[in-house]
Amino acid sequence: MRRTPVAATIAALSAGVVAVALAQPSTAAAAAADPYSWKNVRIDGGGFVPAVVFNPGEKNLIYARTDIGGAYRWNESDQSWTPLLDWVGQNNWGYNGVLSIAPDPVDTKRVYAAVGMYTNDWDPNNGAVLRSTDKGATWQVTTLPFKNGGNMPGRGAGERLAVDPHNNKNVYFAAEGGNGLYRSTDYGATFSKVTSFPNAGNYVQDPSDTNNYLNQNQGLAWVTFGAANQVFVGVNDKANPVYMSNDGGSTWSRIAGQPTGYLPHKGVVQGDFLYIATSDTGGPYDGAAGQVWKYQISTGAWTNISPTPAADAYYGYSGLTVDQEKPGTLMVATQISWWPDAIFFRSTDYGATWTRIWDWNGYPSMTKRYTMDISADPWLDFNSNPQPPESTPKLGWMNETLAIDPFNSNRMMYGTGATLYGTTNLGNWDAGSTITIKPMARGIEETAVLDLASPPSGAPLVSALGDIGGFYHASLDAVQPSFHDTPSLSSNTSLDFAELTPTVFARVGNADAAPHIGISTDGGKSWYQGQEPSGVTGGGTIAVGADANAMVWSPQGTGVYYSTTRGSSWTASSGVPTGAVVESDRVNPKTFYAYAAGKFYTSKDGGATFAASAASLPSSGRLHFQAVPGAAGEVWLAGETGLFKSADAGATFTNVSSVTAGVNVAFGKAAPGRSHPAVFLVGTVDGVTGVFRSDDTGGSWVRINDDAHQYGNAGDALAGDPRVFGRVYLGTNGRGILYADRTTNATTPTGSTSSPTPTPTSSSPSPSPSPSPTVSSPGPTPSPTTPAPGGCTATYKITGSWSGGFQGEVTVANTGSSATKSWTVTWNYTAGQTITQLWSGTVSQAGAAVKVTNASYNGAVAAGASTTFGFLGSTTGATNPVPSPVTCSATR
C-alpha cells in the first residue's frame, strides 16, 4: 500500500553508528484525562500484508507485519490479531511501516521488528529496530544511522531481520539503501555493520524517478540459518544473489554455481537444502518472470526446481514456505499473477514435481483444489462479477508471504494486497480433495482513512478510504458486506452530507478516469453517478449545503465549481483559488467556506462567489477546518500554530490559547445540560499531543487517548457522533478507523465540577441577506414538562436567536419502564412564532398550535433514554417566550 504522508513537525535523527536504545515514552501530564475505550470500526484487512511469520519455537505464536499499519500477534483463542504498535505517535509515525519482523525461536518471549516507512524525505526519521521481551506487549527502540522502507518497493522480500537459532543473542539485519548487513550480539540493544560482508546490493527499480520512491538501491533481501555457524544472505543483485558464511558471519563468500538473472525474494532452509524463490523485479506489485532453485548445502549442488519453465511463465515467484513436519514438502506462490488469478504450487518430493492450486480444464474452464469462504468479510468479492476464467473472490495478488504452521501441517496462512487468508485443512490438497480458504484477518485494520462523516440519522458512520473506497457502516462492530460502489471511485478522498437533510450525501475520488463523483439520497447506503466539469483528474474535496440544494466541489485538475442540481450540472465558482479545501455551513444553506495557502474564503450565495477574509491563519503544514452543527457562521480551524474559531462566518478568528498546535477539529453531541456541541481536537494542549474533548467551547480540555493509543499518523479524518455524547471517530493512515467511547468511570463534562447546567455563549450575530442563526443567549429558561399519560417528557429550549428568527431543540425523554414505539410532542406559541424547518421529526402547525411526531428512526426510545429534534423558527415581535406547557405522549 503506497501512501505519501503529509508533513510531520519533527526533525530527522542525526546519523551515527547506532544510537543508544530508547525506552517507550511514559504518559505525560497535561489537560485532565477522561477514561475512554478505543476500538476499531471493523473492516478486517484492507491493505497489503507483506509477511506472516510463525515462531518455530512455540505453538500458535504467530506475527504479521504490514507496510503502513504496524505489527500484530495472533490470538489462538478467538482467532484474531492484536495490534502491537499503537503506541507509535505523531513524532515517529513511520514506525508503523514494518519492514521485517523476527521472533526468537529460543527465548520465545523475545521478538524484533525493523521499522520505518520511507527511505526518502517523506519520513523525516531514521529507521529503528524495536525489541520486546514480552511478545510485543512493550518495546524498546534502537535507532539506526539510516532509514528503513516498510512502504517502499521490495518490502515483500525477507525476512530481512533474523535471530540466530544457535546463539539467540545474535540478531542480523539485511538493510536496504546500500547500507549492507548489520548484526547485534546483545539481543538487539546495539547493532554494528558487518564490514566483512562484501555486497550491499545494486538493484534499483527506476533510477530516473524524480519522486525518490523508485530510485533507491533495494539492498539486501533476507537472512536465514543452516547448521551451527551457517548463515545465508540474499542480495538484490541479479549477478550475485546469494552469499554464505560458515564461521558465524566472520567471513563470507558468493556461493558457487548459483543461479543469476533474478532477484532472491525468499530464502528458506530445511535440513540440508536452501530453497530460494526469485523474480525479475523487487515487487510487490510487479514481476513478470522468475525461478525456484534448490541448493544442497552438503554437496554444493544447485537444481532448478521451478514449477513452470521460465519461457512459459508470466510471473515471478515469492511466498516460499516449507513444512517442518514433512521434509521435502514445500510451497511457493506467484509474486504477482492477476489474470486469471494467483497460483500456488505444492511439492512433496523436494521440488521434483509440483501440483497447482488450480488447473486448466479446457479454456475457460478450471479445476480447483480449493473453495473460498469469504462470509466473514464479504466485501472481498470487490463488488465484481468477472467473466470466466476469472472468478470472485480471487485467491489474491502481491502474494509475498505464504507460511505453513511448523506445528500443524494442515494450517497455512498467506497475505495479499487486501487481506490475510488461511486454511486449516491443507492436507486435503495431497489427498485429492479440496482445501477451504477463509479470511484470517480479524483485528488487522490497515486502511488509510481520508474522510469520515457521522450524520444525525441513518448509519452512525460513513467512511472514505484509500484503495477500497469506503463503507456505509451500519454497524461499527461488524464487517459490512460491500464497499462504496456504482460508481466505484478508487480511493475516495472526501465526502459530506446535508446537515438538515442528512439522507443526501456526496463523495468524490481518484479514479483514473470519470466518474469522480457519486451522489446518495439514502444516507450513503447506495449511490448514483454524478456529472463533472471538464478537466477533473482527482477527487479533491466536496461540500454539501445544509439543505442539500447546493454543492461545492474543489476537484483536482481544475477549479472550484458549484451545483444547484445535486451534481447533475456544474458552474465555475469565482473568487476562490484552484485546489482550495471546501466545507459547508451546517445551518445556513447558502454559506460555504474554503481555505487555501493561509487564506480563508466565504461564499454566501451557495458557492457562486467567494470573498477572502483578512484573518491571518496558518499557511503550511497539516490543516483542517469544520463548521459547527446548529450554529450558523461558526467555524473552527486547526493548524500547525494552534486552534482558531470564528463566530462570523470566517470574517475574524480568535485563537484558543491552550492549544499550541492542531491537526483536526470536529464536533459531536453536546454534554448533558450543554447547548454547544462537544469539540474534539487532534492536536497539542498544554504541551501534550493527543486527542482531546472540550465541552465548554475550548475553555477547558480533557485528553481522551493515552500514550498506548496514539495510532501513528492519525487525525486527518475526524468526526464526532451527534447522537452519542463523547463518541469520536478517528481516521489513521494505516490503522483503519478507531472509535472511542467514554467508560463508566469517566469524568463529568469539561468545565464542570458537578451536574452541569447550560452555559450560554454570547455573540453579536451579523445576519447575511438570508437569515443565518448564530449561537447567542439561549433566551428564557427551558420549559420541562411534567410526566404525561404516555410516560415521556419533553424539554424545549432556544439554542440561538437573531433578528427575526431563532433555533430551538426539544429533548424527548422516556420516563416509563419499557421502550416507546412512537411519541408526539405538542405546544402552543403565544407570540406569533412559526416553525420554518425541523429535523429528526415531522411537524405540523395550525396557527399557534404545533405538533411534532417522531421520525422513522427515533420513535423507539429505551426506558430511561432520550432523543432530540431541532428546528428553525421565525418571530414577528420583539419577544420569543418559551411555550408552556409542552406535552409529550408515547405509545408502547
List, by residue number, the catalytic residues. 67, 467
Which grid coordinates are listed for 251? 567471513
- Could you give phi then psi for residue 361, rounded to 5 degrees? -135, 55
User: Distance (Å, rounded) from C-alpha 326 to C-alpha 323?
Assistant: 5
User: Distance (Å, rounded) from C-alpha 15 to C-alpha 131?
Assistant: 20
Q: Is 32 helix (H, G, I), strand (E, B) or coil?
A: strand
Cα 91 to the center of its chain, rounded Å: 18
Report CA Rg, the chain.
30
User: Distance (Å, rounded) from C-alpha 510 to C-alpha 497?
Assistant: 19
Cβ-Cβ contacts under 8 Å for 76 (sequence gap 6 or more)? 60
User: Distance (Å, rounded) from C-alpha 332 to C-alpha 339?
Assistant: 18
| Of 734, 744, 887, 738, residue with least CA distance to 823 | 887
User: Distance (Å, rounded) from C-alpha 401 to C-alpha 72?
Assistant: 15
The C-alpha torsion from 26 through 31 and 33 to 36, rounded to 10°, is -100
Beta-bridge mates of residue 217: 204
Kind and range of the H or E run holding 431: helix 428-431
Cβ atoms 800, 807 nearer than 8 A:
yes
Beta-bridge mates of residue 32: 702
Beta-bridge mates of residue 162: 172
The sign of the torsion formed by the CA atoms of 768, 770, 774, 780 equals: positive
Beta-bridge mates of residue 638: 624, 643
Q: What count of residues does the chain have?
A: 892
Cα 347 to the center of its chain, rounded Å: 38
Which grid coordinates are listed for 705? 487517548
User: Can you spell out the DSSP letters for 334-401?
Assistant: ESS--SS---EEEESSTTSS-EESEEESSTT-EEESEEE--TTSGGGGTT--PPTT--SS---S----
User: Distance (Å, rounded) from C-alpha 742 to C-alpha 760?
Assistant: 25
Cβ-Cβ contacts under 8 Å for 544 (sequence gap 6 or more)? 496, 497, 498, 504, 505, 506, 550, 551, 584
Beta-bridge mates of residue 127: none
| Of 736, 43, 74, 80, residue with least CA distance to 377 | 43
User: Distance (Å, rounded) from C-alpha 483 to C-alpha 501?
Assistant: 23
User: Can you spell out the DSSP letters for 48-102?
Assistant: ---EEEE-TTSTT-EEEE-SSS-EEEEETTTTEEEES-TT--GGGGGGGSEEEEE
| Of 573, 568, 565, residue with least CA distance to 555 | 573
| Of 528, 523, 508, residue with least CA distance to 460 | 523
- Half-sphere exposure for 863 (CA within 13 Å, toward CB): 4
User: Distance (Å, rounded) from C-alpha 802 to C-alpha 298?
Assistant: 90
User: Distance (Å, rounded) from C-alpha 8 to C-alpha 358?
Assistant: 47
| Of 165, 48, 18, residue with least CA distance to 117 | 48
Which grid coordinates are listed for 691? 486527542
User: Can you spell out the DSSP letters for 131-169?
Assistant: EESSTTSS-EEEE-SS---TTSTTTTS---EEE-TTSTT
Kind and range of the H or E run holding 428: helix 428-431
